[in-house]
Structure 1
């Protein structure tokens, strides 16, 4: 019987949620940052761990200055910074 990647307990067929190629308990499939309950296939992944796509994944792993509440330091339109 497969084990949940979050709690390491057995996941029974009737309760499993499959995502990221693993079987999860419904209560264990949560965003690593904000703890929001996620739906299978409706989230992002980094390092084998689930994250809600917005805002957590974008804030943690998105490009600098995009979705992180800051600027990247690159010049904007027409060479202005």
Structure 2
């Protein structure tokens, strides 16, 4: 069965897919929604069905005044 990329909406075939967080992505589509940095499958966070790198996710969604280290 062919899945569809949640970013571009086009079919993702078995030989080209990157599976992360239960979804199939094209390798070039799996990038941070905020900074467009290329992401590694399984090594990112997701909010509202959009992938984010760890840095952008913490910067955008962590509580204000909370110190965090990467």
Q: Give TM-score scaled by structure 2 length.
A: 0.88
> Which structure is richer in relative contact order (CA contacts within 8 A, separation 6 or more)?
2
Quote the offset at 1:5 in angstroms: 0.4
Quote the offset at 1:66 in angstroms: 2.8
RMSD of aligned Cα (Å): 1.4
Q: Which of the two has higher C-alpha Rg?
A: 1
Cα distance in 1 for residues equivalent to 2:65 and 2:28: 33
Quote the offset at 1:45 in angstroms: 1.0
Query: Which runs of 5 or more residues in structure 2 are unaligned?
Result: none
Could you tell me which residue of structure 1 aligns to residue 7 of structure 2?
A: 6
Moved over 6 A (4+): none
Query: Which runs of 5 or more residues in structure 1 are unaligned?
Result: 68-81
The structure whose residues are more often helix, as a share, is: 1
Cα distance in 2 for residues equivalent to 1:35 and 1:11: 20
Quote the offset at 1:65 in angstroms: 1.7
Q: Give TM-score scaled by structure 1 length.
A: 0.77
